[in-house]
Amino acid sequence: MAPLRRVLVRAAITYDRRGFGRSDKTLTGYSYGTLTEDLHALLTELDLTDVTLVGFSMGGGEAARYFTTYGNERLRSVVFAAAVPPYLMKTGDNPDGPLEKSQAAEITAQLTANQEKFYDQFTTEFFSSKGVLRVSEQQRQEALALCLQADKKAALACLNAFGTTDFRDDLTKVSIPTLVLHGSADATVPFAGSGARTHAAIPGSQLHVIEGAPHGCNVSHAEEFNRALIDFLGN
């Protein structure tokens, strides 16, 4: 009989945040406390260990908050990809926050008034740098279709959550291998006010900046994004 061998299985697991995609469109639960609880419920239900959390954009908030609420027992490493931490809103004690309160109010007003028009503009900016769309129109339309699956109240609540939640203390709890992956031309979540500060806040973290990439760098610069991610996972 051949000797038994341990087989290491790696898989990518994605899920739709509540209020978005095919998940339930709940009336409440859009604070980062509940959103992180949803993430933890997934990990425990599937009994996942040795996990690398890849938090893209708003999802970087759940990744950061997870350490404060649940620790790192199930985790191997974490990736903050074009992510919103440490704190987007510019305030008196957060002068480096890239999001002005007036800008946040304008975004909320635009989504409230006409979500179809808002998402059309948002997906264009999401994938653009220096005024040039960095993906095909088909790719942008696919992203737009995903946006239109969102419940409007969920989108409005999440706009508030990712703009006003302070993750600075959460980042001090991160003590496992960390990659910060960000586009240099990200106009949605500007690198200087987010990725650069996250990298500085986590001792020993790795940083990979994709030159010229917009917020949607995982699509516009997929080859470089995936290579950086896979190299990190292989360490």
Residue by residue, DSSP assigns 23-42 as S---SS--SHHHHHHHHHHH
Residues 6+ apart with CB under 8 A from 183: 82, 129, 191, 209, 210, 212, 213, 214, 215, 217, 220, 221
CB 21 within 8 A of CB 154: no
Q: For helices 59-70 and 32-45, what crossing angle results, to 10°?
A: 70
Given 77, 128, 129, 186, which residue is catalytic? 186
Given 182, 199, 208, 215, which residue is catalytic? 215
Measured CA to CA in angstroms, residue 141 lies from 55, 74, 75, 135, 196 at distances of: 23, 36, 35, 10, 30
Q: Which residues pair with 206 in a beta bridge?
A: 179
**Does the annotation count 186 as an active-site position?**
yes
Tokens for 196?
Answer: 């650069």
Q: Which residues pair with 56 in a beta bridge?
A: 81
CA distance 190 to 183: 8
Q: Give catalytic residues, as residue numbers.
A: 57, 186, 215
